[in-house]
Structure 1
Amino acid sequence: MKYARALAFALVAGATIVSTGCSVIRGQETVGAYVDDASITTAVKAKFVEDKTVDAGAIKVETLNGTVALSGFAKSNAEKAQAEVIARNTKGVREVRNNLAVRP
């Protein structure tokens, strides 16, 4: 049983490493850029949580090569605009694509 658990863990770890490496191999972006994008996404989400005018749970944040894409729902145009401002003022962000839908 002990060996089965160790083998399962090794397989999951190996699959994670291989699948993460594949995205870089295909030329999508470098490892450094991937890490930078992940840190940008985390920073934007953290700022959303800190800002009480933005519903962090309703907004999805994705980053690729410094371009942040916001998707999901905002309760008002003011919330949509504030989410964009927060994302634009985050270190490392080159561009923001605001695809938030306003849903009262």
Structure 2
Amino acid sequence: MSEFETADIEREASRCVRPPRVAASHVVLECRSHTTLRMGNSTLVLGRVLHAAVDEDHLVDGRPSSESLRPLTRLGGDEWGTLGEVPHLNRIPYEEPGAPDGQP
């Protein structure tokens, strides 16, 4: 049974993978399966991102805005998660003295 049809969601062709993507999605990650790990009665799926795109309306200074996107995560079973409050902490830029080697 198609989740697209069941949920009445419009789909469109993906750029790099065969399965279609959600047409109205503000963020697209097209992935190829890399590894699956059984964890109890669940499966952790790891993928390699082949294509990523973000709607320009949800970019701030060239980066995706968590506050604007308000992502919803699938935790497992019938459980879902949201970000809640997003604290902003300044990172040490790579170029500055005192930054760990190779760490942004």
Same fold (TM over 0.5): no
TM range (shorter): under 0.3
TM-score by length of structure 1 reads: 0.22
Q: Which has the higher contact order (CA 8 A, sep 6+)?
A: 1
Higher helix share: 1
